[in-house]
Chain A
Amino acid sequence: MNHAVTLSQLRTCAAAVAVLVLTGCASTANNPQDPFESYNRVMYGVNDAVDRAVLKPVATGYKNVVPGFAQTGVSNFFGNLSDAWSSVNNLLQGKGEEAGTDFGRFALNSTFGIFGLLDIASEAGMPKHDEDFGQTLGKWGVPSGPYLILPLLGPSTVRDTAALPADFGGDIWKYKEPTNWRNIGAAIRVVDTRASLLDASSLLEDAALDRYEFLRDGYLQRRQSQVYDGDVPRQLNNDDQDDGDTGVNTQVVPTPVSTEKP
């Protein structure tokens, strides 16, 4: 299977889905941030089935068989490539210092870190800041728009989906020649990423009563937090996310609590 084709197919697919959704799937949604819930639940089911059948077993095998240092090397290698794009996005967000650090990481790890296999920059006290174009748009004031589950790619929002072509374009590995190396690398990258999420996904299965809702509400908060670099204004946090069905804000503001105790 040709990965380049897969990527462009994915994009077409995502666009088609967006059109489909925007022209109005019947919706039984009860969360204002998730008007496409009925479509999203179906796509979530499809992704989950693919994950259970293929990706999760492969990732589990990878985690159990491949030596730890090699796994670390793989995730450092691709993490290093993404640092370059993070640096660009930090610059676009006006965060000069972070942009400098991420570029420094990329330069240091690509050279002394042997093509990024070693993350010596982290050890030298240069922290990684993952940034993508969706976060940049968010920083520029573009609202996230409705929650959207993409085929194979999983949870996203309309804004982040619109940002995907830029993120694909900013991915250095995309330009790797020859193509079959690129495809093998892309597959390893997906498996390695899934492997790093195995613990988290089994926690999710334990913790969530309704995995779809749990993932959605966690994901949307996480994206918002990423846009604010972990510093979401508390008021905004409460306003943005209410429990959904009536718009009643049941939130985390603790002040009235003591009067209601039994």
Chain B
Amino acid sequence: MKPFMHLVAAAATVAISTVLVAAPAAAAEAPDALVKRISNEVIDSVKADKDIQGGDRSKIMGLVNEKILPYVDAEKMTQQAAGRHWRAATPEQKQKLTTEFRNLLVYTYAGALSTIKNETVEFKPMRGAPTDKDVEVRSQVNVSRGEPITLNYRLSNESGSWKIYDVNVLGAWLVQTYTSTFNSEISKNGVDGLIKRLADRNAQLAAKPLAAPAK
């Protein structure tokens, strides 16, 4: 009888610990693991695909839409870039502004992707408590010449999954870098003026061939 009870107890222990350990893991991938996975998937796809390296826009856009956008909180990015003007915007303006800003970032990012060659990405240890809802994932891109390029991400977890809401390239945060322009454009021409400006730029970028590699 005793061995049987042992077995039950052991099974119960295993079951409970599996639930305890596995459940949170399934609910939310850790932020650094998430960024690492996205980053590896994207780099591998680019390295494996000659069309992307050659600047095939539709393929690059497909890659960005599939692998990256689901993990980006575009609304939060836009809100922070718009700063105090966000509150004054109508829901429709907010939505349009978010869409246009997101598209601009996609176009820019697509341009950057086609330049990937031999770079490797190295992740640094996470800081902060595991319970944090807002974290910074730090990495660096090792390039063939010169100092490595800083590439950090801010992520927040507001609804059970981590989403990226800011990126730091070479020491500059993207959102902060747009803040001045958003602010001065909105002050001059209102939220609609900024939306139009972004839309015009996006149309221009959509029409322009992606910069093909020099050789």
Contacts and interface: CB of A to CB of B under 8 A. Distances in A.
B is bound to A: yes
B86 A260 contact: yes
Contacts of B172: 217-219, 221-222, 225
Interface in B176-210: 176-185, 187, 197-198, 201, 205
Interface string A58-76: 0010011000000010011
Contact of B197 (A30, A63, A209, A232): A209
Nearest to B171: A225
B31 to A, nearest CB: 14
Contacts of A230: 138, 150, 171
Interface string B132-147: 0010101000001111
Contacts of A198: 214
A76 B145 contact: yes
Contacts of B111: 202-203, 206
Given A128-B146, A209-B197, A254 B108 contact: no
Contacts of B156: 254, 257
A230 to B, nearest CB: 5
Contact of B94 (A130, A218, A224, A262): A262
Interface string A222-243: 1111100010101001000101
Contacts of B2: none
B30 to A, nearest CB: 19
B33 interface: no
A217 B171 contact: no
Given A203-B112, A209-B185, A214-B178, A243 B83 contact: yes
A177 interface: no
Contacts of B197: 209
Nearest to B82: A250
| Of listed B91, B144, B183, residue having the most chain A CB within 10 A | B183
Nearest to A63: B214
A72 B144 contact: yes
A14 to B, nearest CB: 24
Given A64-B214, A250-B179, A226 B171 contact: yes
Contacts of A22: none
A18 B115 CA distance: 38
Which of A31, A216, A221, A243 has the largest count of B CB atoms less than 10 A from its CB? A243
B158 A258 contact: yes
B150 A214 contact: no
B146 A251 contact: no
Contacts of A252: 80, 154, 166, 173, 175-176
Interface of B: 75-76, 79-80, 82-84, 86-87, 91, 94, 104-105, 107-108, 111-112, 115, 134, 136, 138, 144-148, 150, 154, 156, 158, 165-166, 168, 170-173, 175-185, 187, 197-198, 201, 205, 211, 214-215
23 contacts: A30-B184, A75-B145, A119-B145, A129-B147, A196-B146, A199-B115, A209-B198, A210-B180, A217-B177, A217-B180, A222-B171, A225-B168, A232-B171, A237-B176, A243-B83, A243-B180, A248-B83, A250-B183, A254-B80, A254-B165, A257-B76, A257-B79, A260-B79
